[in-house]
Amino acid sequence: MKIVLSLFFIIISITAFSQRPGKREGNKQNQSYHDYRRRLTVPPYGLVKVKELIPTIKSDGEDNEALSIKDYESLSLREKFTYHMIHAESYRRNSGNIPKPKNEHLKIFAYIPDAFGEFAWSERQTKFLSSNRDSVVTLMLESMARTKKAGINFKQAILEVNAKEMIPGIITAYKSNAAVKDLDLLSLLMLLMKENEYEPFLLSGSYKKLYAENTSYQNYLNYSKSNEELIIKRATDFYNADKK
């Protein structure tokens, strides 16, 4: 009986310890940031019209969900931008579910999350982004200057069109958002340096840890003020060198 009671009190103690306010607060903060990382920026251009059209889409035999040619062509450039930013047309088989990382709010990941889960932009959609690159960049910069944020769809679009000229806007949005430190904006800066083969970054310890052979998609740098400042400085140097 004494053994049973002892075990009972041990279990109660462990449960109470695991439910300490600090632990609950940490879990809440991590979940909040997990959700924030996957939030879309919803453009306002023709939003009501676009939202009315999306439910009319009929899935094809491969589960793709593309707006009909007639409805798509009825949209203005800005309305198409809104459509692409909130709806991806191509279904991705075997996309897989990546387990939720712990302490996301304390990590600068090598890569950003997928914007649309099991879906991805279709060829028509990526072609729109590249063909209208200047307009897409302008619309994103206007939104980021206004909201001090860049949703995961904007981050993905920036990479899609290699919008390295947006680096100052990305840094401004990062510094201006007092509510949340969006560490994926730092990841975005590193990915732009990586994709453009900026040599000082390619030779850095950060690059080797995050992007060298046999590294994991989930590799990360611990967030620190020094890492933050180093990434921003390198990205600024890259932007200035690229302008010359």
Tell me the pLDDT tens digit for each residue of 65-92. 999 999 999 999 999 999 999 999 999 8
Chain centroid, CA 34 distance in Å = 10
Per-residue pLDDT for 98 more than 80? no
Nearest to 157, CA basis, from 119, 183, 130, 131? 130
Lowest mean pLDDT segment, chosen from 95-109, 173-187, 204-218: 95-109
Quickly state the pLDDT bin for 95 (edges 50, 70, 90): low
pLDDT of residue 178: 86
Chain centroid, CA 6 distance in Å = 49
Rounded to the nearest integer, the mean pLDDT of the chain is: 90
Quickly state the pLDDT bin for 127 (edges 50, 70, 90): very high
Per-residue pLDDT for 131 more than 50? yes
Highest mean pLDDT among 8-12, 102-106, 166-170: 166-170
Other CB atoms closer than 10 Å to residue 222's CB: what's the count?
A: 9
Q: How far apart are CA 152 and CA 140, in angstroms?
A: 12
Q: How far apart are CA 229 and CA 26, in angstroms?
A: 25
Q: What DSSP string describes 43-83?
A: --TTHHHHHHHGGG----TT------HHHHHTS-HHHHHHH
Residues found in the chain: 244
Residue type, 167: I
pLDDT of residue 213: 85
Q: Check the CA dihedral 153-156-157-163 and report its sign.
A: positive
pLDDT of residue 215: 80
Per-residue pLDDT for 7 more than 50? no
Tell me the pLDDT tens digit for each residue of 13-65. 444 444 455 556 667 777 899 999 999 999 999 999 999 999 999 999 899 99
- Phi/psi-derived region of residue 136, left when phi > 0, alpha when psi is between -120 and 50, beta in every other case: alpha
Q: Check the CA dihedral 27-28-29-30 and report its sign.
A: positive
Per-residue pLDDT for 12 more than 90? no
Quickly state the pLDDT bin for 174 (edges 50, 70, 90): very high
Print burial letters for 34-53: b (CB count within 10 Å at least 16), e (below 16).
eebbbeebebebbeeebeeb
pLDDT of residue 14: 43
pLDDT of residue 22: 54
Tell me the pLDDT tens digit for each residue of 194-226. 999 999 999 999 999 999 988 888 899 999 999
Other CB atoms closer than 10 Å to residue 94's CB: what's the count?
A: 5
Residue matched to tokens 């600068």: 108
The phi and psi torsions of 94 (rounded to 5 degrees) equal 60, 35
**Under a CB-based contact definition with an 8 Å cutoff, are residues 153 and 196 in contact?**
no
